[in-house]
Amino acid sequence: MREKPILMNTEMVARTLADDKTQTRRIMKPHTRRIIKLQLISDLDSGRIFWGKYQFDIHKMPYSDELPKFAPYQVGDILWVRESAKVICKGRSGYREIVIKYIADDAIRTVPYPERLAPIPMWKKLSNGVYKEACRLRLEVTQVRVERLNDISEEDAIAEGCKSNIALTAKGDFRFLWQSIYGWKSWEDNVYVWVIEFKKVQ
């Protein structure tokens, strides 16, 4: 079992806290055609992917025994969530602890402040989310697979914390969420993504 950080925006954190979100999608890094010294590194047209000495047909990759070697997160990993928070004031022990406000739900907590970190001004937002000692949300990875972004099902869009209504499906809601993070044209790129399923660790 490994412990690794994962960055989540405020909306994702709120959905996870509400038990509405049990999946997250992350772009696979070798998702574009690149040529280095005339060697083809990846070719989405044919589905071929090269990772070091390994070669895959990416369409079969979700069933490959080699998949865990390349996924950023593996089944059994514990992910500590780096979420947005703001420093309110020092704690009673000075800079050995601080009081922070979590942006997702306005929760306020006193947390340890490790010596390795430089003092931070009051009311300043923590860059890159909270540090490990201030993390309040831990997730256990239960499944990892690969798929094209546009192939997300309605059921999986709901697992991403998205909602349907009269005018929009949950998949449509997910599309708008994705575009708000990665840009308007990102949906049309239809990249390959890691699908990370998880459960909250109590």
pLDDT, position 33: 41
> What burial letters (b/e) apply to 6-15, b meaning 16+ CB within 10 Å?
bebeeebbbb
pLDDT of 103 reads: 95
* Per-residue pLDDT at 28: 79
CA dist 84 and 9 (Å) reads: 7
Tens-place pLDDT, residues 53-73 = 455 555 555 445 565 567 889
pLDDT of res. 166: 86
How does pLDDT run across 98-136, given as a tens digit for each residue? 899 999 999 999 998 888 888 777 778 887 899 999 999
> ∠84-172-43 over CA atoms, to 5°?
85
By the 8 A CB rule, do 89 and 100 touch?
no
The number of residues making up the chain comes to 202
Q: Is residue 46 pLDDT above 60, yes or no?
A: no
The tokens of 46 are what? 């044919």
Report pLDDT digits (tens) over 72-92.
Answer: 898 999 999 999 999 988 766
Question: How is residue 78 written in tokens?
Answer: 């514990």
What gap in Å lies between CA 42 and CA 165, rounded to an integer? Answer: 39
Question: Of 151 and 147, which is predicted with more confidence?
Answer: 151
Of residues 61 and 170, the one with the higher pLDDT is: 170
Q: Is the dihedral of CA 42, 186, 150, 75 positive or negative?
A: positive
With beta carbons less than 8 A apart as the criterion, state whether 145 and 28 touch: no
pLDDT of residue 169: 95
| Ordered domains of the chain (ranges, CATH) | 3-77+139-200 (3.10.400), 84-135 (no CATH)
pLDDT of residue 126: 84
Q: Work out the mean pLDDT of the chain and round it to a whole number.
A: 82
